[in-house]
Amino acid sequence: MDKTNVEAVPGAAINIKATVTGVENPKIKWTSSNTSVATVNNGVVKALKSGNVTITATLEDDSSVSAQCNITITTKDNNTSSTSKEEQNKDKDKDKEKENLNLKSLKVKGYTLNEPFSSNRTGYTVDIPYEAEDVTIEVEKQSNNVKTEIKGATNLKVGRNTVTVTVKDNAGNSKVYTITVIRATKEERETKKNPTSHSVSQASSSLKPMSTRKNHTLEYAFVTIGCFILFAIGGLGIYFYIITSGKDKKKKKEKKQKVTKKEIEEKPVVEEEKIETPMVEVSPDQDDELGKTIEFTEEAKKLEDKKSTPSDLKKESAILKEVEDLFDDE
């Protein structure tokens, strides 16, 4: 509390401020030891009659955290009463000055606070590696008439450490910002160095929220189904291509066979004209020469007979067709 002993007169109102460090948005419970002498509501004490009373402020979440202020209420003359009013006005002025105790920014150099900064938020946390033993706190004040005091930022132990930033003005008012610095252990350092180990993967998977793991499972399932569909479409495409190309080749082959057969059938067969050899009378002297001529004529006729016949043309066409089929298959 900003006050521990107060003297007042009946009818006076006394403002008491209680500050809790290390707790975000603390809830304080106010009580009076004698409500017939004085009452309290959110730190405002109303003196009712002469007597002694103790005002207690207790943290709702932890009753072991508390503070007290003793108030003595006596009847005094007008001068004393006016003095009490002046003190009350001073208290109000101090309350106004507290508005300048807020910080514009609060940072831990090299690290990011786990909570977004707000001038009204007084509690923060930050994680640092095992190798870091000290941290540097950077602050920006809203008023140049206040001073800041930082404690607990050096020689940090493994685990949780409390660093306080106290903002003070010349009137003695103060506001405390608390940063809980969590320094990693050696085991956590080794885990970060070897993130692919089996134990680390199990630990990381167990730390993931169930909803996140379910979302990843659905994603994997959709990807698998999509790949299967693509492979199926590709396989069907190849299958139909093979069937279609085979049918096309077969049709081309049959068409060529029909054309070749038709050409062979339509090709006219040239009948060999018979040439009648006239009878020539020769003398005995011309017998030798005539014999030679007849022999030559018969040999030429044999050679002429060996020329292309319809059966030879068919054989030639068949050979050409086989060669064409061979090239088509290739």
pLDDT of 15-37, one tens digit each?
998 888 878 888 898 999 888 88
- What token pair was written down for 67? 């503070």
Helix (H) or strand (E) holding 301: helix 287-305
Residues linked to residue 108 through DSSP beta bridges, in sequence order? 111, 137
On the question of pLDDT at 145 being above 70, the answer is yes
Residues linked to residue 151 through DSSP beta bridges, in sequence order? 164
Is the model more confident about 197 or about 151? Answer: 151
User: What share of the chain has pLDDT > 90, as a percent?
Assistant: 30
pLDDT of 37-94, one tens digit each?
899 988 899 999 898 989 999 988 887 788 889 899 998 654 444 455 566 666 555 5
DSSP 220: H
**Is domain 5-99 in CATH 2.60.40.1080, yes or no?**
yes
pLDDT of 154-204, one tens digit each?
999 999 999 999 999 888 888 999 999 999 998 887 666 665 544 444 444
pLDDT of 85-144, one tens digit each?
566 666 555 555 455 788 999 999 999 999 999 988 999 999 999 999 999 999 999 888
Closest by Cα among 126, 116, 174 to 149: 174
The rounded distance, in Å, linking the Cα atoms of 193 and 255 is 73
pTM of model > 0.75 = no
Q: In what order do the strands lie in the sheet with 38-41?
A: 13-15, 44-47, 38-41
Q: Over range 294-308, report the average pLDDT.
A: 57
Q: What is the pLDDT of residue 213?
A: 55
Q: What is the pLDDT of residue 296?
A: 54
The rounded distance, in Å, linking the Cα atoms of 115 and 126 is 8
Q: H-type helices in 29-185, by residue range?
A: 78-97
- For domain 103-197, give the CATH number: 2.60.40
DSSP 99: G
Strand ranges, E, within the chain? 5-8, 13-15, 28-32, 38-41, 44-47, 51-59, 62-73, 103-108, 123-128, 137-141, 147-151, 159-168, 174-183
Q: What is the pLDDT of residue 109?
A: 94
The rounded distance, in Å, linking the Cα atoms of 54 and 5 is 9
- What token pair was written down for 297? 């004529």
The rounded distance, in Å, linking the Cα atoms of 192 and 129 is 10
